[in-house]
Structure 1
Amino acid sequence: MTTYAVTGANGGLGRATIEALIERGVAASDIVAIVRDAGRAQHLSDAGVTVRVADYDDAAALSAALSGVDRLLLVSGSEFGSRVRQHGNVIEAAKANGVDLLAYTSILYADTSPLKLAEEHLATEHILADSGVPHTLLRNGWYWENYVGSAPAAIESGTLYGSAGTGRVAGAARRDYADAAAAVLIAGTVGAVYELAGSEPLDHPAIAAAIAEVSGKPVRYQDIPESAYAEALVGAGLPAPVAAILADSDAGVSRGALDSTSTDLADLRGRPSASLKQVLAESLVSAR
């Protein structure tokens, strides 16, 4: 019997990976969901998944949570500036427990990416390489869901703002990245580096057009300087450090940082990834 664990299991990617594992035939009783808040994980317990509480900052709790785990998905944390230390805690806990495979959700082309967002991912990859823990890298591209949050404002104003120029985004749905992660965990693949990108790269004018088509409202793309885009994100309520990273990522699109011709994602899943229109349609319908 193989025991699988997923960190950040209350988050979108972690939750979707557990669903994908079960859909691919793994028994819920063979899955450990590692969460910070057990109160938000009742649905997992009800499904037969073992829920264990551990924070990325709590090394002792992480070590206890990984007891008996064979294969682990380390979902990257969301606390910019703290992630290298936090990920290191998980890696040390995995090593102490003799985990056979640790799959880490990194970022597309982390070793060459110009994005500030890639810095902590690459540092984590280096920790993994030095740790001796058997591992595989899941270098996820951009999530189409990142545009779901900006769609309502774009629909209302008629304009999607960004700093991407004519660059393309090879995005995919969160559930597609989760399905690929589940496939890798089940296969037990060690030592691989997967560049995971969607099957339909789009530039920002095409993204705006997709929002327009799904919403039935006219939406165009307006390119603005990176600094102005960061200011707009702050004005929308994002903390300044987060806004700066997102604006940097958008500007990185113009340099090809989030484009790819890799077929790793489709190959792992056995089918193409969902289109932006599909993701938008599902999200906008559910929001009504």
Structure 2
Amino acid sequence: MKLFLSAVAIFALFNGISGLAGKAPTKVLNDGNKIPTLALGTFGFEDIPKMRSAVNYAIEAGYRHIDTAALYDNEQEIGKGISDVLKKGLVKREELFVTTKLWNDKHARDQVVLALRESLAKLGLDYVDLYLIHSPEAMNEDGSPANIDYLDTWKGMEEAKQLGLTKSIGVSNFNTEQIDRIKANSKTVPAVNQIEIHPSNTQEKLVADCFARNIAVMAYSPFGFFVKRGEGNKPGNDDPRMVSIAKKYNKSVTQIVLRYLLDRDLIPIPKSTNQARIQQNIDVFDFHLTPQEIATISSFNKNTSIFS
């Protein structure tokens, strides 16, 4: 075990990862900026005002990365939470990493900067740390398809970065072919690709392609593995293999899933508004899984999205 941990430490050192146990380490992006390797997810909560307190809970627990999007309709409450922790002196703005996303109805090149300015006004910030194209598909305001090439959208993203409105730019839900089109037709390689990854949708090929292109991968819906969607799905938090691993490390099964993603060099985005769960989700930096345990969890893969 000591040899394995040493290997992990060496791997982290050479991949630009730093940090102490119990706190989210940082990873160096391809543009030189640093990103915390675990983020608070904020998608899908009906009680949007809870997001303000969730941000407070998260920062108090040690999170430094908050992930939101224009689509989530919660940027204003996220901004209030950020304002709270800054006023309390819990963190300085430069210690936070804030990610938000451009929605599909703002894909025209001249809409990108305006859309980001709208998000910044809601967040109460002068800049975000990472701005992502939420999806390669463009649409009109009425939801109908729009004939806009994401290469034009990317030019708007580059302009947003040049203006200092975001430190890094990236994509979400893009495949390898789409990423390679951006690389071949622009000056900026996406710093991040945010995609759905969990034990029943491991996305190993796309992850490998991103890493080969020096693109970091953020993993949304990390607990999608536990969503029961028919008889064909593998069991989740009651599976004896998962329970055995959790007992070994004195952790919950959900913590094991997060550690699995972290040990794959991914940046998971667990979402919660519950203070205890938020704390539990970041308490995953004091252990590592063995290669065999990682393989065991990957064996649950069914290439199944929880959104399909």
TM-score bucket of the superposed structures, by smaller chain? 0.3 to 0.5
TM-score (norm 1): 0.34
Which protein has the bigger helix share? Answer: 1
TM-score (norm 2): 0.32
